[in-house]
Structure 1
Amino acid sequence: MEPTATGQITVDATPETVYQLISDPASLAGIAEETVDCKLLDGAASATVGTRFRGVNRRGFRRWSTVSTVTDAAPGRQFAFNVASLGIPVARWDYSITPSETGCVVTESTWDRRPRWFLGLAYLATGVSDRATVNKENIARTLQRLKEKAEA
């Protein structure tokens, strides 16, 4: 299945450096467009497959939280997680890292997993009616912040 939004950027940093930034939920919250805070749950010390983390998100005056579960954690290559709200599937996010001559190429993708009946509630919580377009814009901003932080 094709992602509902995706973006790509070349980063002049090692794949390992980039992976450390995206696989640490607190660091990811510092670069992701709508996420303002992330905390590991269940006493986890790091994000490995099966680890859960709570994300606090903001768009304008609206705030909402989600719980994510790490599905892929391959250092230097891929970090992915499924997002749920109130136990309802919301999205899958994936960061793929490909080595390049000067560092790496990072591809961020998302798949909308919300059931149709949940869309109205999601709109009330987020204020977003066209999530695919907003996520494409958010991905571009997130990847630019990731590049700046990784290259600093």
Structure 2
Amino acid sequence: MDPTATGRITVDAPPERVYALISDLDSLSGLSEETVRCKVLVGSSTATVGTRFRGSNKRGFRRWSTVSTVTDAVPGREFSFNVTSLGIPVSRWSYSIAPADSGCVVTESTWDRRPRWFLAMAYVATGVADRVAVNTQNIARTLERLKAKAEA
């Protein structure tokens, strides 16, 4: 299935450095548009497959939390996790890293996994009616922050 939102950026830094920023949950929450904190529930802050973490999120005055489980953690290549809320599948997020002439190309993608009946509750919690458009904008901002941090 194709992602519901995706973005790509070229970063003038080695893939390993970029991966280290993405897979460190403290760093990842600093790059994200809506996630303000990640608290490890099982595992360590440098995530590996099976690491579970609670994401504290905010948008304007709204605040909500999710629980994520890391599904892919291949240093220098891929970092992915599945997100749930109240045990309900919400989304899948993935960062793919490919070597390039000058550093690497990072692709961030998400798949909306929410059941239809959950959409109204999600709207009340987040205030977002068009999650595809918002995630597309958020991905662009996240990738710009990642680029700036990796190239600094």
- Length-normalised TM-score, structure 1: 0.98
> Quick one: percent identity of the two aligned structures?
75
What is the CA-CA distance between 1:42 and the residue it aligns to? 2.5
Q: Which runs of 4+ in 1 moved over 2 A?
A: 42-46
Match of 1:38 in 2: 38
Q: Which runs of 5+ in 1 are unaligned?
A: none
Give distance in 1, aligned partners of 2:118 and 2:88: 8
Asked if the contact 1:98–1:106 (Cα under 8 Å) also holds between the matched residues in 2, the reply is: yes
- Length-normalised TM-score, structure 2: 0.98
Give distance in 2, aligned partners of 1:19 and 1:65: 24
Match of 1:80 in 2: 80
Match of 1:26 in 2: 26
Q: What is the identity, as a one-letter code, of the residue corresponding to 1:145?
A: R
- CA offsets 1:39-79 (integer angstroms, 9 cap, x no match): 11135353111110110000000000000000000000000
Match of 1:142 in 2: 142
Residue correspondence of structure 1 range 1-152 to structure 2 within 5 A: 1-44=1-44, 46-152=46-152
Asked if the contact 1:40–1:46 (Cα under 8 Å) also holds between the matched residues in 2, the reply is: no
What is the CA-CA distance between 1:16 and the residue it aligns to? 0.3
Q: What is the identity, as a one-letter code, of the residue corresponding to 1:17?
A: R
Which range moves more in the overlay, 114-123 or 43-52? Answer: 43-52
